[in-house]
Structures are given as structure tokens and as C-alpha cells.
Amino acid sequence: MDMGSYELKKAKNDQIYFVLKAANGEVILKSEMYTTKAAANNGIKSVQTNSPNAEQYELKEAANGQFHFNLKAKNHQVIGSSEMYKSKSGADNGIKSVQKNGPTDKIKDLTV
């Protein structure tokens, strides 16, 4: 089974964030900004731990009728957010993809 991967990236302001990509290369989850690479790596560990659990997802409808979701840690802190989806079923499929790909241990460090 093909798994996705994480990419550690540096933002223009030198903060660090990560994205989770599905096996097809599509970004399915994006983290918050972190001040250190260690903190971003802890965020990845949190996604690896929490992503399989359906109850850790919060599905929301935006004002424009599109849908998005957050993955939350056990302490209810948001650890990753999705892109916008045109339909609820699209967002549900996005959640399923994060549940499947989130546990991967493939991490590409693009900050160097």
C-alpha cells in the first residue's frame, strides 16, 4: 500500500511548518506555524498519533458553503487543517485520506 509523506518547510518569516501529502502528492493537511524544527517534529508526531481516530476531526462549513476540517490533539488543540472542499463528501474523503496517510513515518526535510 502506497503511503503519503510529510514535508517540513520553512515559511518566508523563517517559521517552520509541515504538510501531509497523500501518495498522489496532493496536500491533505497543513500545520500551524512553529518557531523551531523540534516543535514542528512534535506536531508531526501528534498527527501520526491522532490521525487514525475519527473523533479527533472537526468538520466545519464555511460561510461560502464549502467544507474544511481540523485535526485536533487530545487536548483539543488544532494540529492540522485541510484545504477547502466544495462538498461535505469531499471533506469526508479528505478526512479518510488523512486517517490513512497520517501514520506514515516518511518525513522529507525541505528546510535545509
Per-residue pLDDT tens over the stretch 9-39: 999 999 999 999 999 999 999 999 999 999 9
Q: Which CATH class is domain 5-110?
A: mainly beta
Q: What is the pLDDT of residue 20?
A: 98
Q: What is the pLDDT of residue 108?
A: 97
Q: What radius of gyration, in Å, describes the C-alpha atoms of the chain?
A: 13
Average predicted confidence (pLDDT) for the chain: 96
Q: What is the pTM of this model?
A: 0.93
Measured between alpha carbons, how far is 92 from 59 in angstroms, rounded to an integer? 8
Per-residue pLDDT tens over the stretch 89-100: 999 999 999 999
Q: What is the pLDDT of residue 45?
A: 98
Cell of 110: 525541505
